[in-house]
């Protein structure tokens, strides 16, 4: 639990301030979080879902974003090792709703950085030299703290939701969340069908992998 | 955040040149302006600025910094955000479907090492060539690399789709799964076409599915 929360913090920092080494990518963050909590297959599938669902949203400029990085860590953290598939499906749907307000925390830190820059500039114009390195490393640390806190809060809310759903949901609700869990990536595939430049390569890759599966058998 | 990071990168060189107190504050003020570029290629601007500062051409370095930032953003954003990052993430997912979480770890390591090498290369290129990096950026293969990166992303996405759905759906295939899959594909296509947010589409799909399952189970 603690390790996964730290992973959320590190991924939060990697997303914006330090490294940008792909740790913040939902595929990597979810895969590692799933591995840490003992649900590796579900973690990989979650990373696959989030990567395909969020492919349209690029972190370029000042666009308001879903915090899919924290969500990718929070879902395996909330569901745990032996959760049923419907719990993953439900947390995916609920988590995507919560990830948008969670993404506002990133914009809040961006605004803080902008405010800091203006303040530092005023001090520099007055001929005073502020501790620039300390400000910079402080902001990077704040991104780590943001990632950690958002991950823990999301995980707690999602765990509470699983507990409530376990008591109140009937069989049909569970089946519908189960179906959402394994068909969610196809929503992203529907989006891909509209990207004409990428489509021929995608079909080529699809055929290549299918041929490989036919020749060498299923993994 | 980038402007402060850029300034912190240049500070040791300014101190080495003997700038202190009010002089250092004036120098820092000139460089703490608006700065936004692709983070993986930013080293090129740092290097070129160092090159010009060392040869006493500070005015030129400030102009180059502004011009290069937007050019590198225009080159780097499509290459990394739409090409290299998704390509490596999908490759990692494909490997993970075959080998487990170790595939994800390998993809993360591959991207971290490759992006680190590109950062180092950009910094060296900037330090060695100074304003001459502009000639490097006009080479045709630099521009072609963007479309190759996007093609690689499409190809690896196709691989991941085939492997993901085969490993997951092999055990769960049924007429109900097929109907759900077709529904998800159509919803995703419509969402991309009409620019509907996917989280809302996912919620609507869940409610619809829940309603259908509930009514069929009570019949």
pLDDT in tens, A138-188: 989 999 999 999 999 999 999 999 999 988 888 888 988 988 898 888 888
Q: What is the pLDDT of residues A7-44, one digit of tens each?
A: 999 998 998 778 889 999 999 999 999 999 999 999 99
* Structure tokens, A171: 């069989």
How far is A158 from chain B, CA to nearest CA, in Å? 16
Comparing B54 with B86, the larger pLDDT belongs to: B86
- Answer positive or negative: Cα dihedral of B176, B177, B181, B184: positive
CA A84 – CA B24 distance, rounded (Å) = 60
> How large is the ipTM?
0.91
What mean pLDDT is predicted for residues B190-201?
84
- Cα B19–B124–A120 angle (5° rounding)? 40
A118 contacts chain B (CB < 8 A): no
A164 contacts chain B (CB < 8 A): no
- In this prediction, residue A62 carries a pLDDT of 55
Say if residue B42's pLDDT is above 70: yes
**Chain A hits for B185, Cβ within 8 Å:** 186-187, 189-190, 193
Judge whether B110 and A21 are in contact, CB under 8 Å.
no
Give the C-alpha distances (Å, rounded to integers) separating A182 from A12, A92, A208, B103, B200. 27, 11, 23, 21, 18
Give every CB contact of residue B3 below 8 A, 6+ residues apart in sequence: A117, B31, B32, B33, B34, B35, B36
CA A171 – CA A194 distance, rounded (Å) = 35
What mean pLDDT is predicted for residues A117-123?
86
- Average pLDDT value for chain B: 86
- In this prediction, residue A93 carries a pLDDT of 92
CA B28 – CA B23 distance, rounded (Å) = 9
Q: Answer whether B101 sits within 8 Å of A31, measured CB to CB.
A: yes
Q: Answer whether B93 sits within 8 Å of A47, measured CB to CB.
A: yes
Q: What is the pLDDT of residues B133-190, one digit of tens each?
A: 888 888 877 788 888 998 899 899 999 998 988 887 766 677 888 888 888 888 888 8
Half-sphere exposure of A212 (CA within 13 A, CB side): 15
- Res. B132 pLDDT band, cuts 50 70 90: confident
Q: Answer whether A31 sits within 8 Å of B155, measured CB to CB.
A: no
Give every CB contact of residue A85 below 8 A, 6+ residues apart in sequence: A177, A178, A181, A182
């Amino acid at each position: 639990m603690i390790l996964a929360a730290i992973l959320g913090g590190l991924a939060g920092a990697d997303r914006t301030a330090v490294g940008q080494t792909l740790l913040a990518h939902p595929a990597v963050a979810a895969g590692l979080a799933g591995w840490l909590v003992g649900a590796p297959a579900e973690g990989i599938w979650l990373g696959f879902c989030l990567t395909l669902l969020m492919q349209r949203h690029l972190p370029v400029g000042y666009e308001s974003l879903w915090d899919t990085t924290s969500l990718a860590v929070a879902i395996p953290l909330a569901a745990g090792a032996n959760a049923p598939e419907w719990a993953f499906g439900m947390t995916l749907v609920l988590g995507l709703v919560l990830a948008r307000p969670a993404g506002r925390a990133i914009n809040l830190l961006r605004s803080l950085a902008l405010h800091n820059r203006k303040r530092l500039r005023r001090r520099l114009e007055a001929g005073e030299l502020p501790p620039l390195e300390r400000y910079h490393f402080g902001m990077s640390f704040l991104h780590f703290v943001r990632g950690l806190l958002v991950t823990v809060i999301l995980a707690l809310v999602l765990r509470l939701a699983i507990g409530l759903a376990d008591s109140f949901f009937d069989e049909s609700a569970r089946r519908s969340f189960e179906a959402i869990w394994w068909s969610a990536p196809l929503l992203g595939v529907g989006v891909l069908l509209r990207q004409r430049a990428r489509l021929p390569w995608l079909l080529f890759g699809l055929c290549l992998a299918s041929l490989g599966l036919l020749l060498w058998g299923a993994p | 955040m980038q402007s402060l990071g850029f300034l912190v990168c240049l500070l040791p060189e300014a101190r080495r040149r003997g700038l202190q107190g009010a002089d250092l504050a004036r120098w820092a003020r000139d460089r703490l302006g608006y700065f936004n570029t692709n983070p993986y290629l930013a080293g090129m601007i740092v290097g070129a600025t160092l090159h010009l500062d060392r040869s006493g051409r500070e005015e030129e370095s400030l102009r180059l910094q502004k011009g290069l930032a937007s050019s590198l953003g225009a080159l780097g954003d499509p290459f990394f955000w739409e090409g290299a990052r998704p390509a490596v993430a999908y490759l990692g997912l494909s490997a993970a479907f075959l080998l487990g979480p170790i595939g994800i770890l390998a993809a993360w390591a591959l991207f971290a090492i490759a992006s680190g090498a590109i950062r180092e290369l950009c910094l060296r290129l900037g330090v060695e060539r100074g304003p001459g990096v502009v000639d490097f950026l006009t080479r045709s293969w630099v521009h072609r690399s963007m479309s190759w990166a996007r093609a690689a992303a499409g190809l690896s996405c196709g691989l991941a789709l085939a492997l993901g759905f085969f490993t997951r759906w092999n055990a769960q295939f049924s007429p109900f799964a097929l109907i759900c899959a077709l529904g998800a594909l159509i919803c995703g296509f419509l969402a991309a076409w009409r620019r509907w947010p996917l989280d809302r589409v996912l919620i609507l799909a869940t409610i619809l599915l829940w309603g259908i399952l509930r009514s069929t189970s009570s019949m």
